[in-house]
Amino acid sequence: MNTEQTNQPTDALPVAIVTGASAGIGRSAAVEIARRGFGVIATYHSRPEGAEDTVRLIEDLGGTARAIRLDVGDTETFPAFREQVEAALANEWGTDRIDALVNNAGFGGGRAFEDMREADFDEYYRVLLRGPYFLTQTLLPLLRRGAAVVNVSSSSVRPGESEPGYSGYAGMKAALVTASRYLARELGERGIRVNTIAPGPTRTRIGGDAFEKYPDIIPAIAAKTALGRLGEPDDIGRVIAFLVSADAQWITGEDIQVAGGYGL
């Protein structure tokens, strides 16, 4: 299928899909992308109310957004999701193309190697690697020439942050970084840019709201950053918004760490 064809008027609003946009980094990315003049499809898995809050935040800015459910760990649902996206594009924005895809949805938390079960390992694989990889493939026919893909990785893949218990999580994130670099080369002939962004420890709901439940762990983590604090979702969301924008049109194949100098 030719992904370069388009019926969109030249003055139509660009549209981005942000997965896992019901809270945290995904919500911030969705809002910041909307600030740059994009319509946004915000996906959620189990928190529709969170996604609707994201939509309201965007509408309060004067933007347009839609919330659609997506289980990124279940690739069999992707064709139906694409149909929902196509309907939203036509009905809300009068287009049949998207201009950006942010693969943010996932989960955190570690598991010691000795305790790792195949089912646990497979969950890391389905959600953190297979999901974003094949979601991008499913949506590729909708990606306009010159579109941008941003895959959310993790600073845990870098040397110097090899905390015990994260071999499964970091292994999948590292594979996503490598796959993204190759996709940047392969999709570059279509003008599609592919980058990864590697957040450091960020105040989100990750690990079952660990930072909210155990605030005593924050000072030690903050002390490992050059800037002396945890990251906030907006620290990451603004960089994602930059990467999907025309301001970053000469950046592709990069893994950009946004971690406040964590582990320097």
The closest alpha carbon to 195, from 260, 128, 256, 258, belongs to: 256
What is the distance between the alpha carbons of residues 246 and 203, in angstroms, rounded to a whole number?
28
Active-site annotation holds for 169: yes
Report CA dihedral (56, 236, 216, 171) to the nearest 10 degrees.
Answer: 120
Helices 167-187 and 131-139: crossing angle, nearest 10°?
A: 20
Q: How many CB atoms lie within 10 A of CB 227?
A: 14
End-to-end CA distance of the chain: 46
The Cα–Cα gap between 165 and 90 comes to 45
- Catalytic residue (one of 169, 182, 214, 262): 169
CB-based contact 254:196 (threshold 8 Å): yes
Q: Which residue shows structure tokens 């938390």?
A: 109
User: Which one, of 171, 47, 38, lies nearest residue 99 by Cα?
Assistant: 38
Query: What secondary structure letter does DSSP report for 220?
Result: H
Question: 61 - beta bridge partners?
Answer: none
Question: How many C-beta atoms surround the C-beta of residue 188 within 10 A?
Answer: 13
Tell me which H or E stretch contains 99: strand 98-103
Q: Which residues are catalytic?
A: 169
